[in-house]
């Protein structure tokens, strides 16, 4: 039985960045690999290998014309955390070719970095660290000049993909009101994601109620317990404003979304691929996450 053929064009990654050594050995055992790591794979090499390839790993340009010459292609693995406009996604959906992405692996670490940078900016950590290095540090009120509390600060999330969804829960302990905007996602999809997180917290609360019932015999069957359960259930379904998150309407202009004058206007229409529809299953996958 012949091995499946995999085309690997990993730029800007390398095989060592994507796979551990044992995974690379396993991949070479189960598949016939066409690999080019010293830059972008040459067009002639892509032209020769693509028609017989079942899987493509990388950021290779895939127009409809190229996809027409790849009848065996079953899956495309994007090695970054984005969906570049160099692939005809509509054609992929029509053919049933799956387009997969690595962003879930990066989302939490990048979200934590974003939170760290936000705390740095509001508390002046890097600025004061630089002063300490040059022995010009300040103390007392002077050292806090230009700083403010991150707690309670208004937070805007532009794009509610993997990064946006990972970042939003991180600011909740700081009691930050959050506004979410994503022109690719229906409001109900954003609300559903928020509702899932809310349900997890409610489940934890219910666990606490059960613990209470062990200490207080009969509480689990009491009117007070039933009223609490009903209230939690009602609040968990209170979309589109859920758990301190406001879902902004899709038609609102990104310009000045969050009332911040210094926020650079972002016209998402400039970045939309003509081949990409604005709704449907594809929209759920095309929400590039930018934390504002």
| Range in 46-55, 100-109, 200-209 the model is least confident about | 200-209
**Local structure of 162: helix, strand or coil:** helix
User: What ranges do the domains of the chain cover?
Assistant: 5-101, 107-186+250-291
pLDDT of res. 222: 61
CB 51 within 8 A of CB 5: no
Calculate ∠ Cα 152-157-162, nearest 5°: 120
How long, in residues, is the chain? 292
Count of alpha carbons within 13 Å of 205, Cβ hemisphere only? Answer: 15
Helix H or strand E segment including 196: helix 187-215
Domain covering 5-101: architecture: 3-Layer(aba) Sandwich (3.40)
Helices 162-171, 187-215: crossing angle, 10 deg rounding: 40
Whole-prediction pTM: 0.62
Q: What residues contact residue 151 under an 8 Å CB cut-off, 6+ apart?
A: 174, 175, 176
Task: Note the pLDDT of residue 278.
Answer: 37
Alpha helices, H only, 156-186: 162-171
Least confident of 67-71, 135-139, 242-246: 242-246
The predicted model gives 238-247 an average pLDDT of 51
Task: Classify 259 in phi/psi space as left (phi over 0), alpha (psi -120 to 50) or beta.
Answer: left
* The pLDDT of residue 145: 87
| 98-120: pLDDT as tens digits | 999 988 888 999 999 999 999 99
User: Around Cβ 125, how many Cβ atoms within 10 Å?
Assistant: 14
Same fold, 5-101 and 107-186+250-291: yes
- Given a contact cutoff of 8 angstroms between Cβ atoms, the answer to whether 89 and 272 are in contact is no
Superfamily (CATH H level) for 107-186+250-291: NAD(P)-binding Rossmann-like Domain (3.40.50.720)
Which one is predicted more confidently, 159 or 253? 159
Confidence of residue 87 (pLDDT cuts 50, 70, 90): very high
Sign of CA dihedral 250, 184, 240, 166: negative
């Amino acid at each position: 039985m012949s091995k499946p053929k995999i085309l690997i064009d990993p730029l800007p990654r390398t095989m060592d960045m994507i796979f551990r050594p044992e995974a690379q050995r396993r991949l070479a055992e189960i598949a016939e690999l066409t690999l080019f790591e010293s830059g972008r794979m040459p067009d002639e090499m892509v032209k020769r290998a693509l028609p017989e390839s079942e899987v493509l790993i990388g950021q290779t340009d895939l127009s409809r014309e190229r996809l027409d010459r790849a009848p065996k292609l079953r899956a495309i693995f994007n090695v970054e955390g984005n969906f570049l406009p160099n692939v005809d996604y509509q054609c992929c959906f029509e053919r049933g070719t799956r387009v997969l992405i690595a962003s879930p692996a990066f989302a939490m670490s990048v979200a934590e970095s974003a939170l760290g940078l936000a705390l740095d900016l509001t508390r002046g950590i890097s600025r004061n660290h630089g002063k300490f290095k040059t022995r010009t540090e300040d103390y007392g009120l002077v050292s806090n000049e230009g700083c403010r509390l991150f707690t309670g600060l208004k937070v805007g999330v532009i794009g509610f993909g993997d990064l946006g969804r990972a970042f939003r829960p991180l600011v909740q302990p700081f009691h930050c009101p959050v506004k979410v905007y994503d022109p690719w996602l229906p409001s109900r999809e954003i609300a559903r994601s928020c509702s899932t997180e809310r349900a997890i917290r409610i489940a934890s609360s219910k666990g606490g109620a059960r613990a209470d019932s062990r200490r207080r015999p009969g509480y689990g069957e009491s009117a007070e317990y039933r009223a609490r359960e009903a209230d939690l259930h009602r609040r968990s379904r209170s979309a589109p404003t859920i758990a301190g998150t406001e879902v902004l309407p899709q038609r609102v202009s990104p310009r000045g979304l969050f009332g911040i004058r210094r926020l650079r206007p972002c016209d998402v229409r400039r970045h939309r691929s003509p081949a990409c529809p604005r709704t449907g299953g594809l929209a759920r996958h095309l929400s590039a996450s930018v934390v504002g």
